[in-house]
């Protein structure tokens, strides 16, 4: 049954048009919207008087495996650098995950993402001792809540050949029947044979790679010492940057040559400025490739708009300034990535209804300014995900969110006890 949104003020994804009227939302897979004179008889109708309707948001780089990390116990000793943060926090956490915890992570993230206005997650997953079935578990959980997804398993040699092979097996099994990417953790934990194998695997499935790039200087140091080149040079030589589906996350510690390699490549870049601040690793300067950057949350949270605002503020110093219009383009670029690569689940019938009653006028020209300075997750009223009402007045409609979150808290306690 199509949904009709009456009295809706609709602002398109590019912030190029603003129109008020009745919107008919297709319930077809990959469907869109159209303005109609009247809601058709029998359609489910939602009165959007006083509200803004716009395409829902998407997250370009997430870590669902950290979905139960909020408030977890501190590590046994305080990390003093980025690699120690990985070793003492995230790699201890991901090794403790089992399938029940992974499912709970995915439910926790999906519910939060939806309440923050997103209907699509590009995820980078690791669970070294529960790799088998993990991507399938995450996909099922996101499907239940109503989110589209583009998943991968972060392959690595960091935990030895058995864990590496389990990740490879899960990647291969998943890509047989789902859209997805081939994940790699980062250059410094990926051997030459694994890198070659991963690129071949991505080519075989006509997809791209998803990898952390120069998040910290340590990635560059290891690469120079072990591969006699810099990280982007290594990935470029291996063919990682040839796919327009490839995502390079972070890209902070680059030299001029690496910047121009990325600028001339097919690859896209995911920015996570809050995570970068949390880890004290520096900040992205995207001036060499401004049209490639999209916004992720890196497992910190699932608020894409909040992450875009943080990137916008960071860019004022790190990138010599940024306009709200450019920040809006960066926030929305993930849709261009998904659409140009023909990934499914982010079509025109994904919408967020914002209960946003501002003290100043909204025009099509100043909408990016409202997004950067005014709109927040608090204004997300309802969500239509692939033509279905998935969030109604801040409550999930496709799942029992209270029961799922109760289970999340139980799984979090199990996880924390294992740490």
Nearest approach, Cβ of residue 202 and Zn ion (Å): 18
Nearest approach, Cβ of residue 61 and Zn ion (Å): 6
Nearest approach, Cβ of residue 157 and Zn ion (Å): 18
Angle at 75 (CA atoms; ends 74, 76), nearest 5 degrees: 120
Nearer to Zn ion, 59 or 141 (CB): 59
Tokens matching residue 258: 């690496």
Nearest approach, Cβ of residue 124 and Zn ion (Å): 5
DSSP state of 86: I
Report the alpha-carbon distance of residue 69 to residue 298 in Å, rounded.
13
Residue 156: how many CB atoms within 10 A of its CB?
A: 22
Nearer to Zn ion, 252 or 354 (CB): 252
Piece in contact with Zn ion (CB under 5 A), picked from 68-76, 294-302, 392-400, 408-416: 294-302
Report the alpha-carbon distance of residue 287 to residue 408 in Å, rounded.
41
Residue closest to Zn ion (Cβ): 298
Piece in contact with Zn ion (CB under 5 A), picked from 101-109, 239-247, 293-301, 349-357: 293-301
Tell whether residue 298 is a contact of Zn ion (CB under 5 A).
yes
Nearest approach, Cβ of residue 381 and Zn ion (Å): 30
Nearest approach, Cβ of residue 242 and Zn ion (Å): 22
Nearer to Zn ion, 298 or 319 (CB): 298
Q: Which residues contact 37 (CB under 8 A, 6 or more apart)?
A: 22
Residue 337: how many CB atoms within 10 A of its CB?
A: 22
Nearer to Zn ion, 152 or 238 (CB): 152
Nearest approach, Cβ of residue 188 and Zn ion (Å): 14
Burial of 233 (0-12, 13-18, 19+ CB in 10 A): middle
Closest CA to 114 of 398, 340, 362, 366: 398
Tell whether residue 154 is a contact of Zn ion (CB under 5 A).
no
Nearer to Zn ion, 11 or 105 (CB): 105
Helix (H) or strand (E) holding 373: helix 367-373
Are 54 and 352 a contacting pair, CB within 8 Å?
yes
> 85: helix, coil or strand?
helix
Nearer to Zn ion, 275 or 347 (CB): 275
How many residues bind Zn ion (CB under 5 A)? The answer is 1
Nearer to Zn ion, 159 or 298 (CB): 298
Nearest approach, Cβ of residue 288 and Zn ion (Å): 21
Helix (H) or strand (E) holding 383: strand 380-385
Closest CA to 370 of 416, 315, 410, 325: 325
Piece in contact with Zn ion (CB under 5 A), picked from 145-153, 216-224, 298-306, 324-332: 298-306
Piece in contact with Zn ion (CB under 5 A), picked from 52-60, 89-97, 290-298, 377-385: 290-298
Query: In the window 93-152, what residues touch Zn ion (CB under 5 A)?
Result: none
Angle at 230 (CA atoms; ends 226, 231), nearest 5 degrees: 90
Residues in contact with Zn ion by the rule CB under 5 A:
298
């Amino acid at each position: 049954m199509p949904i009709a949104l009456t009295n809706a003020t609709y602002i398109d994804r590019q912030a190029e048009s603003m129109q008020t009227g009745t919107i008919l939302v297709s319930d077809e897979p990959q469907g869109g919207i159209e303005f109609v004179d009247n809601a058709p008889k029998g359609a489910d109708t939602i009165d959007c008087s006083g509200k803004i309707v716009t395409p829902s948001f998407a997250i370009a780089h997430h870590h669902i495996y950290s979905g139960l990390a909020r408030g977890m116990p501190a590590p046994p000793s305080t990390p003093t650098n980025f690699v120690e943060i990985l070793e003492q926090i995230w790699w201890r956490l991901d090794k403790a995950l089992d399938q029940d915890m992974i499912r709970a992570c995915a439910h926790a993230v999906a519910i939060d993402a939806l309440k923050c206005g997103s209907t699509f997650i590009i995820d980078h997953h690791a669970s070294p001792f529960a790799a088998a079935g993990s991507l399938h578990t995450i996909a099922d959980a996101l499907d239940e809540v109503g989110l589209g997804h583009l998943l991968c398993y972060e392959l690595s040699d960091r935990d030895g050949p058995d864990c590496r092979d389990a990740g490879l097996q899960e990647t291969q099994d998943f890509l047989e029947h789902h859209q997805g990417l081939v994940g790699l953790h980062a250059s410094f934990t990926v051997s030459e044979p694994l890198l070659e194998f991963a690129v071949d695997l991505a080519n075989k499935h006509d997809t791209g790679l998803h990898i952390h790039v120069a998040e910290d200087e340590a990635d560059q140091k290891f690469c120079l010492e072990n591969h006699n080149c810099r990280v982007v040079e290594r990935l470029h030589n291996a063919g990682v940057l040839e796919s327009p589906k490839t995502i390079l996350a972070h890209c902070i510690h680059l030299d001029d040559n690496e910047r121009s390699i990325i600028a001339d490549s097919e690859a896209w870049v995911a920015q996570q400025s809050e995570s970068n601040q949390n880890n004290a690793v520096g900040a992205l300067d995207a001036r060499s490739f401004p049209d490639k950057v999209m916004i992720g949350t890196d497992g910190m949270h699932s608020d894409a708009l909040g992450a875009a605002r943080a990137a916008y503020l960071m860019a004022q110093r790190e990138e010599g300034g940024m306009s709200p219009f450019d920040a809006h383009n960066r926030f929305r670029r993930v849709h261009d990535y998904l659409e140009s690569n023909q990934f499914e689940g982010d079509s025109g019938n994904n919408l967020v209804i914002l209960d946003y009653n501002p003290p100043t006028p909204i025009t099509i020209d100043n909408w990016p300014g409202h997004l950067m300075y005014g709109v927040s997750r608090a204004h997300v009223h309802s969500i239509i995900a692939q033509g279905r009402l998935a969030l109604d007045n801040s409550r999930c409609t496709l799942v029992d969110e209270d029961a799922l979150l109760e289970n999340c808290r139980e799984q979090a306690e199990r996880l924390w006890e294992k740490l």
